[in-house]
Structure formats: structure tokens, C-alpha cells
Amino acid sequence: MSHLSKRSWPVLIGAACLWLAAGPSHGATTATTPVGNLLLQADKASSSDHRRYLELLAELHGRESQLTPAQRQYLEFLDALEYDLQDDTGKAARMYRMILDHPLGEYIPMRARVALIALDLRRRKYVEAYTRANALMEKLPRIKDPRARVADLNIILRVLFSEGQYAKAQGYAVRMDKLATRDTERCMAMVFLTESRLYQGQSLEATRPDYLKTMGLCHAAGTPGVSNTLYPVWAGAMIDEGHPRQAIAYLKKHEPEILKSQFRLHIAIFHDVMARAHLKLGQYAQARKSALAALTESPPGSHRWSRMAAYKRLYEVAKLDGDTATALSMHEKYMAQYEAHADDAKSQALAYQMVKQDMLASKMELMELGKQNKILQLRQSLDRKSAETSRLYILLLLLVLFSIGLWTYRTKQSQMRFRRMARHDDLTETYSRQYFLEQAEQTLHRLHKSASQACLLILDMDHFKRINDQYGHIHGDTVLRHVAHVCRSELRDSDVFGRLGGEEFGILMPGCASAHGREIGERIRSALLQRPVRISASESVTATTSIGMACTGDFGYALKKLLSRADAALYEAKRGGRNRMVVSAGPAAVQASA
């Protein structure tokens, strides 16, 4: 999953499983009656055959007078799913809330609640979504309907995937599989289980038994729409393991199922993975065609991360094809989507932590009210007791005050920890991408006022995927920390240093002319060559880096312009053989050194 963040991919799972949260309901309708069968058929078709789904909805509305109140609410839920599928999020949300305001039974309202949470996450209403999700987690032990329990587990898994807690999600997926009573439910549980194992780094070969079981269950249940979520993930793993041709053949085989559902997010991801595979094979025309198709299926108002991926593919195609103007245009659009997506991810993470803190505060408040109530009762009793009992009351009061102070202190420490997490990359102890961009923007603004110079370096490690593949991600993290340490040893306190993502770092050096910037970049490159990092008692790895540089003297003080020119210079360094430094010296000149 190297070309899309793992935090983005769970949107695919959540949106797909939303339509069949726990399979068709046999309790809300009478399955032996014709109208009951129609409802079940429509529910089943909602994720696999969109044309048939619309036909069944039309027939059900024509026979609406035959529906019981519970069946009518079932039909309202299916109507809301159609609005949700067509990205009419406002109307879908209103219909979900109407079902929740007048619940009939436990199962359909639970599915409406699950759908509303997923919808709020798509609309980036993270606080509302996580508040509802946490309420569902608290409610799980009290839910009696086994189908509703499975639906509740579905949204718990959705939240865990969105937070990257794949090991914990794996346990809930196993629990969901055990609670399932139908193949539809087992199919969804196995989709979650298989993808959680892939996200934790298991190979295709190790995951294959789970994959085969998942496909068998989903097709036995007649719900290919759920398995549609797994196809691009599996194909992406094929590409990561060096099999792009097999990935294309695999996706082509399942293309009719994906297109038949008319679920735009599935289709966008399908085209994006196809573009990745064609890029790996050097098939630029096919890659461009697939990337444009992915962009078409990604509406501007939602699924921002899928638009980001499409622009990135178009940028990569244009760059490799030598179309510099298009590459720069697509890179700017990609960066705009990337920054917006990064802000969304940060907002989502902070909302998740904030809701957890609010729940903790509510529990503490309830505990505190309970303690105060006990104190009042003790006070009434103390009025009738001796001075010795009075001293006991004072001691208890001090203990309560101490517990309040301790809770306040821990809450403050937690807030400070969250603030540091938002500003720093935990692995390398450098600035996070968002905080680096903010600091760099402020520094450049200050330098512009004083007419001082500055240089921006972008460093990208050479062949880092080989290091991960050969030695494992743990040693890969060791190499990343080593690179950050070496860079920091060559920089000044005033330099702004951050991790832009993956194995890429950025350095802004204020008060630095082009010649001095080149000298520092060469020092860093040389220091990495001369200081291999030991990964075991008997083995060391020499990490090399390619460097691109752009200075304010040539391109001005706009951060986006400097990033774009430094990135172009970095690309030239990579294309020129790696372990090189390239200085972008103007619109028509690039200087290189090795």
C-alpha cells in the first residue's frame, strides 16, 4: 500500500460494508411474503447490481400500501442508501436521522446509525462521527439482537481501521466472524480480517488462505459488492511485491463486478491501482488513461484522498514522459490535495483524541459527582459524630482534592503530548510535514521582509524499499533515524528540518546563499557515505541520498515555488544516477554534483 496512506484505504472498507452492514434482515420483514422477498432482494442488490437495485426500489414504492410499518422503515433505509450512493449526503443524513428518531425494532435503526457514522466521516464531521461511534462501543454489551451486534462491530472496525489500529481490528474481526450467523456477515468479517493482516505487513502468500476463504464466503452469499473492496487492495499488494502484470490481469478479471455496482469510490480505486500497475511497466499512455478515469470518479466534494492519488499518478506519468509543463501543473494540484488531505487526517486524529478525552472527562465528572454525594452524606453523619470522625472527613476531602488535582495534571500532560504529536514525527524526532510547512512559510515571510537569502533542500533516500525488503521495516526505521541524526549534526539551530513523508526530508536554511547551501548539502551526502549504520552485530548498511536544492535568490520567497523547483532538481538527481546533489539555478539551468 505504498502509494496511498493506510489511513485512507479503510474508507473503502467502511463505505462498501455500509450497504450490507449485516446482510438482509429476516426479522424486520416477513420473508415468505412477496413484498418481504422484494425488500431482501433490494438489500442484496444495493452493493452488487445498481440497475436491479433501482428496479426493485421502484416496484416497492409502487406497492407501498402493502408494507407494514417496520417494512416501510426498511424501505426508507434502502432509499437513504441510494441517496448516499449518489453522494446526496444531506438528504441521506436526514433520512438516517428520521429512522433514528422513530426506531422500529433494533436492527434497522442500528444500520442507520452505522451508515450515519460512515457518512459523517466522509463529510469530515469527525467529532460527531466519533461521538456516535464511542456511544456504540459503550452500548455493545447491552445489544441483544445478534444482527445488531454484528452491525455495531462493523462500525467499531471502521473506526479502528481509520486510526490505523490494525492489530486490535484483527481481534474484533475474529469476534465478528464468531458472532455471524449468515455467509454475508462472515464475508464482511473475513474482508476486515484479510485486509488487517495485509496492512500489518503479511505477504500475499501468508494471507492467501484468508483471501480464498473470503472470496468463497462472499460469492456463496451472493454479495460480490462486499468483496469488491478487497480486489484493489489485493492487486496493490501484487504490485508492491513486483507483479504488476498479474495485478492488471487480476483487476481486468473482476472489472465487470466493480463497474456493475456503480459505486464511484470502488471504481476510482480500481482505476488508480490500474494506473500504478501500468506505471510500473512503463506503459505511460495506459497509466494516464486510468489516472484520468480515477479522477473522473472522484467528486471534488468528497473522497479527497482519491483525487490526490489520481493527480499523483498524472504527475508521475508526465514526469516520466518528459512533459515538464504538465508535470508541474499536476504536481501543484497533487500538493494542494495532499495538504488538504493531511489537514483532514490531522483533524480526524485530533477529533478522535478529543472525543476520547471528553468521554474520560464525563466519566470523571460522574465519579466526582458520586464522590461529592458521598461527601454530603458523610457531612450529615459527621455532624453527629465526634472530633475523631471529623478528622476522618477532612482526610477524605483532602483525598478527593488530591484526586481532582491529579486528574487535572494528567489531562494537562495529555494535552501537551497531543500538541507535540501534532508537531513532531515520532520516528525521527524531526518536524512533521504540516508543522515543517508552517514554520518554513513563517521563516520565508520574515526573510522576505529583511531581504535575507535562504535555500531549501529536499532529500530522498536511494533504494530505501530495498532496505525494507532485505532487512525488514524495523531496520528500515533504524536507517531513517540514522539519516535524521546525521542531517541534524550538519545543521544549525536556526535551520528548519522536517520529514515530508516516507523516506523524504526537507531542510530550509535561512541566511544561506546558494554556494553555502550546496556546501551543506554535499556535507550531508558525504557524511552519510562515511557513516554506515549498524543494523546487527555483523552487518552495516550505507544509506545514500539524492538531494535537490532551490534558493530564494533564483525563485523568490514563495514556499510552493521553492518546493516545486527543489523537487524537480531532486528528480534530476534521481535520474542522473542517485547519490547526487542537483541545484536548481533558474528556469533553464540545473547544476549537478556527485
Cα–Cα–Cα angle for 173, 176, 182, rounded to 5 degrees: 125
3-state secondary structure of 586: strand
The more confident residue out of 265 and 472 is 472
Cα of first residue to Cα of last residue in the chain, in angstroms, is 32
Mean pLDDT, range 14-33, rounded to an integer: 41
For the chain, count helices (H), then strands (E).
Answer: 25, 8
Please give the pLDDT value at position 14.
Answer: 43
Identity of residue 498: G
**Percent of the chain predicted with pLDDT > 90:** 30
Over 90: is that where the pLDDT of 273 sits?
yes
Cα(77)–Cα(79) distance, integer angstroms: 5
Please give the pLDDT value at position 184.
Answer: 78
* Range among 26-40, 126-140, 353-367 rated most confident: 126-140
The string of pLDDT tens digits covering residues 361-420 is: 555 555 665 666 676 676 676 666 766 666 777 777 778 777 776 776 676 766 656 566
pTM of the model: 0.47
Over 80: is that where the pLDDT of 287 sits?
yes
Lowest mean pLDDT among 139-143, 395-399, 434-438, 556-560: 139-143
Over 80: is that where the pLDDT of 123 sits?
no
Over 90: is that where the pLDDT of 8 sits?
no
The string of pLDDT tens digits covering residues 533-543 is: 988 888 889 99
* Range among 13-22, 27-36, 585-594 rated most confident: 585-594
Which alpha helices (H) appear in 49-106, and where do they start and end? Answer: 50-62, 69-85, 89-101
Please give the pLDDT value at position 212.
Answer: 85
Residue with cell 531513517: 480
Over 60: is that where the pLDDT of 587 sits?
no
The more confident residue out of 511 and 144 is 511
Please give, one letter per residue, the 3-state secondary structure of 564-582.
HHHHHHHHHHHHCCCCCEE
Over 80: is that where the pLDDT of 347 sits?
no
